[in-house]
Every structure is written in C-alpha cells, then in structure tokens.
Amino acid sequence: MDLTKRNNQSLISLYLVVLGMWILFFHEVLKSFAINVMPIAYSGFFILFFALFIELKKGALSFLEGKYRLWIISIWYFSLFALVYGITKSHTLQFLSRDIWPYSYFACLLLAARTNRWSIIDKMIYQQFLIGVGVFIYIGLTLNITFERNIILLNNMSWDASRIYWAWGLLYGWQYMFLRYNKKDPKSRKIATILGIILYAVFGIIMLKRQIIVEFGMISCFKLIYAKKVEKVNIIKVVTAFVAIAVVAFSIVSFYEKREDISYFKRLLSRTTEAGSILKTISQNTRLRETPLNIYNQATTFEILYGQGLGSAVVKDGIINTVVESGFYTVFLKGGIIFLIIWYFGFLSILKDTFWGKRRETLLFGLLSAMFIISSPMGPFFLMYPTGGYQMFWLGRCASRVRGHSFFAANESFANSSKKGRRVLRSLVGQER
C-alpha cells in the first residue's frame, strides 16, 4: 500500500471538510445580518459530500471500531429505506432535501476517526468561535430590540428578532472551548473563551432558556472529570475559575435587570418550576406530551415501527415542522422505533466507552459527545446547522480505533519538516493501522 499517496489523499479530504465547514459557518454569519442565501449553504454541503466519497473510497470505515462501523452502516442502510419510503409517500422535494443534506456531515465523522492532524480542526473551531463572539457583540449593540424573551418572541416573524438568535448560535463551539481550555493556551485564546462562554450564558438566562441550567451543570462536571484524569490540574483552581465565570455572568445579568426593571433569575426559576416542581414541569411539558401524540395520530401502524420516511413532517397549530425540538422524536418521526433502536445502540456505546472505558486520549471527545447525547438526543441528524459537523467530529474521535492521537499531534511538525520524520511517522501509522 502506498502510504505517501494515502496521506496526500487524507490532506485533500481534510481541506475539503474544513472548506465546507467554513462555507456553512459564513452562511450562518450572513443570516445574522439578515442575508439568507441558501445556495451558499448547498455548496458547503456538496463539498462535504465530495469529501465523504473520498473518505469512503480510501476505506475510512476501517478506522472505526467494529461496533461503530456496524452502527454507521446500519444508519445508512436504514436511511436509504427511509428515503425510498419518503419518495413513495410523495414527500416534497424541499423537505426531502432538508433531510438528505445533513448526511454530508458524515465526512466530518470519518475524517476525525482517521486523521492525525487535529490541530487544523482545532484552529478552525477557535477561529469560528472568535468570529462568532465578534458578530454576537456587534448584533447585540446594534439591534434595536430589548433583550427580553417576550419582546423577541413577539417580533419572531421579523428578521431583526431572529438575527440575535442566529448570532447566539455562532457560539456553538463554546463546549469544546470550555473543555479544551488550559493554562498553556495563548492569552488571546483564553480571553476569547471566557468572554464567549459568559456571553452565551448571559443571553441564555435573559431568554429564560432552561437548557442553560442543564448544559452548564453537565459541562462543569465534565470539565472536573477531564481536569482530574487528563490535565492533572489542581481541582481547587478549576472550581475557583467556575465560580469566577458564574459571578461575572450573574453580575452582568443583574446589571441588565436593574436597567430594564426585569427580574430574569426569578422568571427563569418560575419557568423551570411552573408546574410546582422541576420534575412535574418536565413531565407536563407540551413538547413531551403533544408532539409524540401528533406524530402517533398521523402515523399508520407500519409507520410507528418503521417511521414516515425522510421528508416527513409533523403539523402543530397549522405549522409544518420537519424537525421536532424534543430530541429523539425527530428520529422516531423519520424512522420509527427501528431507527431509535439503531440510533441509541451507538449512543449508549459512546457513553459506555466514555465513562467506563480506559481511553484517556479520547476522553475530551467522549465528554463532548456525552454532552449532546444527553442534552439533545437528536444530535447532528436532520439539522442543517454547522453544529452538526462539530458533533460528528466528536463522534468520529470516540468511534476511532486508532490510538495515540496526542502523539501524532505533537509530532506533526517534526514529520512535516524532514524526510526522516515522514518515514518514521509512516512506519508508526502502518503499525497503528
């Protein structure tokens, strides 16, 4: 096997994936400025599909552990059935395309499972996060709408109200930046990380996002796990940093409360316990009760088991939704009980490998995967936002059977700087593979 050629091909697909992700990111930036040009996003998805085909041609599936390889192949085969069934159901081309395009994110998964150049992806995530922070600050300062949930919801049909949401979504790399944060980072990266996380939390509290409580609670616990097992840092220092970030975030919200005469913390607590307790509020949530009932009522017995196919949608209050917010209900809508079983086979495997495995070198990505598996079971499927690509990066690192990622990252410069280095790296890659 010509490993030199194989490495060159890896670079091609790596750069294609990075290019595709940048195009999709800039499409989200344009939406933050009330410019929605879908052909730009389609070109990004097309590039990712091209990279996916290159990876498959190179046998990238062989770099996945056996159970994850079986999982991915099962998803693809069942999705093909769901596509055919969706076509026979005469689902519209628009809705079918919305479900098909996100499958290009599998290029991110396959690439992450085999690449030894994670530093390039890390740099991309940081740069996009930095741009997201800048855009969010600019939109926040120039938007002529009070940051209050009710006001923004009332103006939800206008582009102006949605712009701040799109800008907030540009901070979706905060989880990686938070877990990856360490004292060796440049000062500029540290400042950007802390500022971005604070802005993300502040806007979430102002918009009364109950998910904020879950996300920050989980990510704080995961950071402690990662700091203890991998970074070997002083836990007291980590806890002190958590407290400092929380104090700053709460202070900003408190200042905004006094200026606008709005009690955000009380309203967030009230919304979280509006049914009397947190548990009752969750169990009586209309999304958890009405959404599955709507899906069930419009499905046949066959479709409850096998789903309503790609391109399917659920109608609520006269509005057609192709993606259901309540996590796994989207997977159930498209593929029924069978797809849910396939879906959770892989996810439960990732959770098992993360918390009961011994793979220290991929713990960071296991924790990131656990974050969105638990908080948003829908994950990267059927969502056209770049965050799906990020999540596929995490999944790919978790599912990889190749060890020694940190070694390859540390020695990349050596390998690229000399012929001897390249020969050594190729021989090691051959042993790994």
pLDDT band at 176 (very low <50, low <70, confident <90, very high): very high
Pick from 208, 210, 205, 125: nearest CA to 170: 125
With contact defined as beta carbons under 8 Å apart, do 349 and 68 qualify?
yes
> With contact defined as beta carbons under 8 Å apart, do 380 and 330 qualify?
no
Q: Which amino acid is at 179?
A: L
Confirm if 173 and 390 have CB atoms less than 8 A apart: yes
pLDDT digits (tens, 9 = 90+) for 254-277: 877 776 667 777 777 777 777 677
CA atoms of 180 and 190, how far apart (whole Å): 10
Average the pLDDT over each of 14-18, 120-124, 244-248 and give the range with the smallest value: 244-248
CA distance 244 to 418: 45
* β-sheet bridge partners, residue 320: 315
In which band, very low, low, confident or very high, does the pLDDT at 427 lie, cut at 50, 70 and 90?
Answer: very low
Rounded to an integer, what distance in angstroms lies between the CA atom of residue 132 and that of residue 126? 10
Instruction: Assign 380 a pLDDT band (cuts: 50, 70, 90).
Output: low
Q: Residue 154: what pLDDT?
A: 58
Q: What is the mean pLDDT of residues 132-161?
A: 73
**Average pLDDT taken over every residue of the chain:** 82
The average pLDDT across 184-191 equals 91
pLDDT at 303: 93
pLDDT at residue 243 greater than cutoff 90: no
Whether residue 73 has pLDDT greater than 70 = yes
More confident residue, 137 or 151: 137
- CA 76 vs CA 83, 104, 335, 338, 364: distances in Å: 10, 12, 12, 13, 27
Instruction: Answer whether residue 3 shows pLDDT above 90.
Output: no
